[in-house]
A and B are shown apart, each in its own frame.
Chain A
C-alpha cells in the first residue's frame, strides 16, 4: 500500500509522541544540551528544511517477474506461478498488546488486576497499558509467591479460571512418522463396444426407387392375400419361377447331369482304351510260349496331387470300377500334405472324390461290406475314417493324441469283421511298434493295443522290469483269409512275426525274412498256408507259414515297393520295383523268372510304389512317386488257366487253385526232404 512519507512520519509521531518526549526530557536532564550534530552536516535554511519531498514506498517488488510459468503435469499445461511480490522495507517488533486480546487478559489476570480496572483501562491510551504489561514479569514473581499461598482466595479463583501455561523448558514434543503405504497403480481397459461400418448413398432417384419397390411389394402382398384362397396355382408357379431365378447360380442343381455328361465325354475321348479294356486280347500271346504282356490303359492324374507320391491303392470291393488312392510321401524330408482320391474307370479324367489331408497318407483300406467307409493311416500317426456318403472334406472319425494315436507313421490299416456288438473296427500297424485295434463306437474311435512289437520277441518275453525292450517298427501286416485270429506283421528290421489276436504277449513264430524293412506281406488268396513278402533288399520271398525258411526267393535287382497276389490264380503275383518295372510271376509256368516285366516308367523319371489287382477285371493299377496311377491290362498269357485235357471238363474254383499251389510246394519240398 503506497503511503506518503509524510503521513507515515505523522502517524509514527502521533504514536510515539509522549515516549519521545520523555526520552527528550531524560536527555535534557542528563546532558543539559541541545541536539548534537555531526560536524559535517549540511547547514540548511529554514525554508529548505520545511520543504517536503514526496516519496512513495510501495510494497510491490518492482524487480519481481510477473510472468513466470511452471509446467503442471497434473493438468498438462503451463501455469503462472505466484512469486513473492512484496518487499519488506521496515520491520519493527512491537511490544504492544491489544487489551481485548487473550494474551492481554491473561497478563492482566496474572498481574492481579481486577477486571474492573482492566475495563476501566480500556479508555486509557496504549502507553498506560504498556507499562503495566511490561511490569508483569516483575510482578509475576511476587504474584506467584502470593498464589502459592493456599489461603489466598483470589489466587484460587484465578487458578481455576486460567489454564496453566505450559512451561516451555519442561516439556518434550514427540513426533513420529509412520510408513506411508506404497503407491500402486492399477489400470484396466474395457473392450470398446463393437462397431461396424455402414455406407450408403442417398439421392432422389434412390429414394424414389426404394419407395416404388416398397409400394409394389405392398401391392403384391395385398394381391396375395386376396388371391390366396381362390387362385393358388398361378401363384405357386410364379413363386417357383422366382425361386429358380434366385437360385439360378447354384450349380449343384445340375451336378448330376454334368457328371453324366462328363462321363460320356470321357468315354468318347477314351473310346479306344475302353474298347481295349473290354475286348482286346493280345493275340501275339499265342505265339509266345510263356511270356505275356501288359497293355497300358488309362493313366490317372490329378492336378492337386502333383508332387505327392502314391502310397496306397485299394479297390472298392463293391463297385469294381472304383478305387482309392492315398497320396503322401515316403521321404522323411518332404512331408507336407496328403490327398485321398477316388477314381473310377468310368471317368478317368477327374477323380470322383478327393479329400485333402493335412498329413501325408500312407495306407488306406475300404470296408468290404460298407464300401463307403474308408480307413486311412497317416504319416503323423493318426488313423481316420472317411465316409463317402457324408458331405464335407473332413474325416468322420479321427484319432487324436488323446485317443491313442500312433506316435510314428501308420504303415497299414485293415478293416476287420464287425465285432460282437456290430461295431465296425479295423487294425493299424505303425513304426512305434504297436498294432492297435480301432472300434467305431457311435461318434468315437476307441482303440485297444493288440500287440507291441519288440526286437527280442514280444513285450513280456524280454527281461522284465530293468530293461526297456527295444521297439521294433511295424511296417506291414496282413490277416489270414480263413483263420480269423492269425496275422503277420512285417517289421522295419526285416523280420516277419506271426501273431495271434488273442495272445498279445508273444509271437507264434518269427521269420528272419529280409535284411531290410519289409515293405509288404500278404497271404495268398487261395492257399491257407502261403504268404509272400517283399523288401527293399531287392527280394521277394514266398513262405509256408509252418516252415521257417522261405520256399521261393526272387531277386529283382531293385528295391521292391509292393507285391500283390492275383485274385484269380493262386500262383500269379505281381511286384513293382523302384526302377519303374512291373514284374508279373506265374509260378505255375515259371518258378524262376517273371513271365512279364515291362518297364512302365522310365528309370530316371520316378519309382513305382504300389501295385494292386482288380478283383474282377484282368487289370492291375500301379502307383508311382509322382502321383500318377497307371492301369495295365494283363494279356491272356498272364492269366492262363491250366490247359484242359481233352474230354475233361475244365475245373475251376478255389480247390483247383489250392491244389495247384500244393503241387508246387510238394515239388519243392521233396528235393529238400531228399537232401535232408
Chain B
C-alpha cells in the first residue's frame, strides 16, 4: 500500500514537474518557434483527451498563420520519418507524455 501510494505521489509529482513544453528538435526561426510552441500547448490543453482534435486545431491554425501544407502528429508513442521544408519543423514533448511533431511539406 505504502509503495503504491508513494508511486502515485511520484506520478503526481512527475506530472506536476513535467507539464512544461520541451522542444526536442526544431529549425524554425525563434519567433515562429515560440508561436508554434504556444499554439501546441494551447491545443493540447484544450483537447487534453482528444489528440486528433488537437492536431486538427494546430494544423488549421498553422495553415492560417504560416501558409498551407502543415502536418501535425500528436501521440504518446510513435516513430516518424518525415521530409520537411527547411526552417519549418518542430518536434516537442508536452505534458510529460505527449509528443508533438509539426512540420511543413507541400
Contact = CB atoms under 8 A, between A and B. Distances in A.
B4 to A, nearest CB: 19
Nearest to A197: B83
B24 A210 contact: yes
B84 interface: yes
A206 to B, nearest CB: 8
Interface in B6-65: 14, 17-18, 22, 24-25, 27
Interface in A197-219: 197-204, 206-208, 210-211, 214-215
A207 B86 contact: no
Given A207-B97, A208-B96, A195 B79 contact: no
A195 B81 contact: no
Contacts of A32: none
A203 B98 CA distance: 8
B97 A196 contact: no
A194 interface: yes
B93 interface: yes
Given A200-B91, A215-B17, A207 B99 contact: yes
Contact of A202 (B89, B96, B99, B103): B99
A187 interface: no
A207 B100 CA distance: 11
B76 A198 contact: no
B72 interface: no
A202 B22 contact: no
A158 to B, nearest CB: 70
A201 B101 CA distance: 11
B77 interface: yes
B46 to A, nearest CB: 20
B22 A198 contact: no
Nearest to A205: B77
A193 interface: yes
Contact of A196 (B24, B79, B83, B93): B83
A198 B97 contact: no
* Interface of chain A: mostly helix, strand, loop or mixed: mixed
B81 A204 contact: no
Interface string A172-205: 0000000000000000000001111111111110
A195 B83 contact: yes
Contacts of A194: 85-86
A201 B83 contact: no
A201 B79 contact: yes
Contact of A193 (B18, B85, B91): B85
Contacts of A203: 76-78
Contacts of B96: 207-208, 211
B77 A198 contact: no
Contact of A214 (B22, B79, B84): B22
A198 B27 CA distance: 11
Contact of B78 (A193, A197, A202): A202
B84 A204 contact: no
A211 B78 CA distance: 17
A210 B21 CA distance: 11
Nearest to B82: A198
Contacts of A201: 78-80
Given A207-B99, A210-B22, A210-B24, A202 B85 contact: no
Most B CB atoms within 10 A — which of A194, A199, A202? Answer: A202
Given A210-B93, A211-B93, A200 B83 contact: no
Interface in A322-354: none
Given A200-B80, A202-B78, A207-B97, A195 B103 contact: no
A200 B79 contact: yes
A343 B92 CA distance: 56
Interface in A201-253: 201-204, 206-208, 210-211, 214-215
Contacts of B82: 197-199
B84 A193 contact: no
Contacts of A208: 14, 18, 96
A198 B85 contact: no
Nearest to A196: B86
A517 to B, nearest CB: 61
A515 B75 CA distance: 88
Nearest to B99: A202
A208 B99 CA distance: 11
Contacts of B17: 211, 215
Given A196-B84, A197-B81, A211-B18, A204 B89 contact: no
Given A207-B93, A207-B99, A210-B24, A199 B86 contact: no
A259 B35 CA distance: 55
Contacts of B85: 193-195
A200 B81 CA distance: 6
Contact of B75 (A195, A202, A211): A202
A204 B91 contact: no
- Most B C-beta atoms less than 10 A away, residue of A196, A206, A215: A196
Given A203-B76, A214-B22, A198 B99 contact: no
A207 B101 CA distance: 13
Nearest to A194: B86
Given A210-B22, A210-B93, A202 B79 contact: yes
Contacts of A204: 76-77, 97
A200 to B, nearest CB: 6
Most buried by B among A194, A203, A206, A207: A207
A198 to B, nearest CB: 6
Nearest to B77: A203
A201 B77 CA distance: 8
13 contacts: A193-B85, A194-B85, A197-B84, A198-B25, A199-B80, A202-B76, A202-B93, A206-B99, A207-B76, A207-B96, A207-B98, A210-B22, A214-B22
Given A202-B77, A210-B93, 16 more contacts: A194-B85, A195-B105, A197-B83, A197-B84, A198-B83, A198-B103, A199-B79, A200-B25, A200-B79, A201-B80, A202-B76, A202-B80, A203-B77, A207-B97, A207-B99, A208-B18
Interface of B: 14, 17-18, 22, 24-25, 27, 75-86, 89, 91, 93, 96-99, 101, 103, 105
Interface of A: 193-204, 206-208, 210-211, 214-215
